[in-house]
Amino acid sequence: MIKCVIFDLDGVITSSSDQHFQAWCELAESLGHTLDPEVEVYTRGVSRMKSLEIVLDAIGMSGRFSEDEMVKMATDKNARYKELISQFTPDNLEPGMETLLTELKGKGIKIALGSASKNGPFLLERLGIMQYFDFITDPAAVKHPKPAPDTFLAASEALGFLPEECVGIEDAVAGVRAIKSAGMFAVGIGDRDVLAEADIVYPKVSDIDTRDFLAD
């Protein structure tokens, strides 16, 4: 019986991928390069430092910077990203998200955030939905980021549930793999072909039917 639903953030609860990629593009431009739009999909669902590695590789600058320089670049990028999302309001919630959260709460389901983003609490506050969440995974405390299962297992363990009692909802391949590696039921949001490893895939959050994975 499912007792907990663990949500990814970007691309599921809200769409801030454009703001993320704009900040990465501005970083690339500061290094004298233009970032190919096709790179954006590969930066989803992974840690900030992993995203930076992907961006630097894409512009042919991988391995040219010290660890301290890379940390500064990632920090500067995040500061710019936070500027871009600072104007987010509940209007930036994915359609159907608050209805889904309300339904889960009404059924006694615990709700957690399992995101690689360190901006999770900030965004949940801006979106006006912090009160729905029983636990927020701290990315800094996760030893192995997605596609490793640690992010989702941290949430289930904190709330006292077995993996088989949890559902994970993700829009990225790395995230779906993390959910499956954790031994949980995986709900994908997006393209069925891309997210073929998920147990079930819905085109949009508003298409989710909890009867597909919650017992009556």
Q: Among 99, 114, 111, which Cα is nearest to 147's?
A: 114
CA distance 81 to 61: 22
b/e 31-43 (16+ beta carbons within 10 angstroms → b): eebebeeebbebb
Instruction: Give the catalytic positions in this structure.
Output: 8, 10
Residue 173 near residue 197, CB atoms below 8 Å: yes
Q: Among 147, 148, 181, 153, which Cα is nearest to 166's?
A: 153
